[in-house]
Amino acid sequence: MRNIDYKSLNLLDLIIKEQGFEKASNKLGITQSAVSQRIKQLENEFGELLVTRTASPKPTALGQKLLKLLNHVRLIEHDIFDNGGIDIEIIPISINADSLATWFLPAVNEILTDPSLRLDINVKDETYTLNSLLSGNVVGAVSTHSKPIINGKCDYIGSLDYIFVSSPKFAERFFPHGVNQENLLKAPVLAFSTEFDQHNLFLQEYYGMSPGNLISHIIPSSEAYIPLILQDVACTMISRQQIEKELAAGTIVNLEPQLVQHKKLYWHRYNLESESIQRLTRCIIENGQKLLQYKRS
């Protein structure tokens, strides 16, 4: 059995998180040369590179596996050597922005209020969160993928339901007689990124439009959508769960009631679960299902 240098693995993890050898050395208060030497020694032990020497270092395939191992070892060590809650356990997870803005934080309140636990949340598009789990950067992920990864578990949480909305004033200005292809081409729309935007693609498909024809404001923040809608700036696809109060008050209106995009969410993690991951899983599944009005898929 190979003896693994976990101190050097922790250094590798720091290099990836800090996005550089120099930044990692500055954080530790040692020279960049010392950092490079320790990583080189670790690579010599395994006989191959573990991290790329690029502007933003990335773990190699073996580096990803070792970082995955490191995350699991940290969690299991916390279970074994718990000394009354003095040690702080960090749980890295990956989640989509809309879940973070709606159901997730209330669901995991028990974890957030535990003084011995800290969540390290990595926000990605829900179609890419699973990549962070596979790469070993996190120990759990909320994803739209319905099948478990190899040696992993997967549970259905519920569905975020996206509807097409604007303020009443915006609707009166751009869609006085309802939404159609012609007036939608003239109306500003909110988009999360310049890359793949599922909601705008869904919207364009519904109205028979070619991708990329919408006039979009790129706003990479779910929380910013509501104030922008209320400022009569744009229309957008947004989860119904995020705007329940505004819909009830009439300050935001549903432009196309028959148009709903359901996004089913699943909680992924590996079969080997520490006690803290088991607690987190219970919170996500039990509370998340209630908050998302769970219906079995």
Q: Structural domains in the chain?
A: 6-80 (1.10.10.10), 83-148+267-292 (3.40.190.10), 161-262 (3.40.190.10)
- Residue 35 pLDDT more than 80? yes
Q: What is the pLDDT at residue 210?
A: 81
Q: 3-state class of 193 per DSSP?
A: coil
Q: What is the CA radius of gyration of the chain?
A: 23
- Tell me the H-state helices in the chain: 6-18, 21-28, 32-46, 61-80, 97-101, 104-107, 109-112, 129-134, 168-174, 181-184, 198-206, 222-230, 244-249, 275-282, 288-291
Q: What is the pLDDT at residue 296?
A: 43
Q: Which of 37-46, 56-65, 108-117 has the highest mean pLDDT?
A: 108-117
| Three-class DSSP labels, 107-172 | HCHHHHCCCCEEEEEEECCCCCHHHHHHCCCCCEEEECCCCCCCCEEEEEEEEEEEEEEECHHHHH
How confident is the model over 103-132, as pLDDT tens digits? 999 999 999 999 888 899 999 888 889 988
Do β-strands 236-239 and 215-218 pair in parallel, antiparallel, or remain unpaired?
unpaired
- The CA distances from residue 237 to 72, 171, 215, 255, 285, in Å, are 38, 14, 14, 10, 26
Q: Phi first, then psi: what are they for 131, rounded to 5°?
A: -60, -35
Q: 3-state class of 221 per DSSP?
A: coil
Q: What is the pLDDT at residue 83?
A: 53
Contact 88, 116 (CB under 8 A): yes
Place 261 in a pLDDT band, splitting at 50, 70 and 90.
Answer: very high
* Residue scoring higher pLDDT (192 or 112): 112
Considering the chain, what is the average pLDDT of its residues? 87
Tokens encoding 249 = 């008050």
The mean per-residue pLDDT over the stretch 17-42 comes to 86
